[in-house]
Amino acid sequence: MKEITEVYPDAAENLARFAHWLAGAGVERGFLGPREVDRIWDRHISNCAVVEELIPLNSKVFDIGSGAGLPGLVLAIVRPDITIGLIEPLMRRSEFLTEVAADLGITARVTVMRGRAEELKGHTAPVVTARAVAPLGKLLTWSLPLTAKGGQILAMKGSSAATEIAEAADILKGRKAEIVLCGEGVVDPQTTVVRVTT
């Protein structure tokens, strides 16, 4: 297995800075449990970074329910070609995201959008991401209106991915939903993503 900093050498410094933020302020402010500190790299940062494989060049991305910046900030760090809107309703999380983006020097490409996804009518992006936000059916009701025609929703999921696709059939209305594994040779297990094409 390759270290994530070997895969993205140009991003290594900022990934390390972000890991430091998560282990410090992220735990202090209650965004991550203290037991997660030892797993920040493999379970959180590396797991999120490999999703960039599915994002086309120079994309505009919305990340729903960014929380502590997973996957949104990680994607912004490893993909300097993308612009990303971090959608987060909670003030203290929004403030954390703003502070981290400023410290990493990526505010030109990262916008913190404080609010709920369903409040952002009229805003769309070709790619919408989410991790551990809601079951797929509910997530689709929030993300479909934000996804540009011909775009894709990338929902990071676990072993329940196939079940969630089946349960969301009414909302999918015939749209293509597939399970894609990311990060071969980088993360083990590979990151499971449900990709919905709009």
Cβ contact 194:145 at 8 Å: no
121 vs 72, residue with greater confidence: 72
Mean pLDDT of 107-113: 98
Residue-wise pLDDT for 47-90, tens only, equals: 999 999 999 999 999 999 999 999 999 999 999 999 999 999 99
Closest CA to 153 of 173, 177, 135: 177
**What pairs with residue 194 in β-bridges?**
155, 179
CATH-assigned architecture of domain 4-197:
3-Layer(aba) Sandwich (3.40)
Q: Provide, rounded to the nearest whole percent, the portion of the chain with pLDDT above 70.
A: 100
Q: What is the mean pLDDT of the chain?
A: 96
User: What are the extents of the domains in the chain?
Assistant: 4-197
Q: Is 90 exceeded by the pLDDT of residue 1?
A: no
Rounded to 5°, the CA angle 102-112-39 comes to: 70
Model confidence at 129, pLDDT cuts 50, 70, 90, reads very high
CA distance 67 to 179: 24
Q: Which pLDDT value is given to residue 109? A: 98
CA distance 27 to 33: 6
Q: Is 80 exceeded by the pLDDT of residue 147?
A: yes
Q: CA 82, 40, 188, 5: dihedral to nearest 10 degrees? A: 50
Q: Which pLDDT value is given to residue 2? A: 84
Q: Which pLDDT value is given to residue 121? A: 84
pTM: 0.97
Q: Is 80 exceeded by the pLDDT of residue 13?
A: yes
- Please state whether beta strands 60-64 and 83-88 pair in parallel, antiparallel, or not at all (unpaired): parallel
Q: Which pLDDT value is given to residue 182? A: 98
Q: Which pLDDT value is given to residue 9? A: 97
Mean pLDDT of 123-128: 97
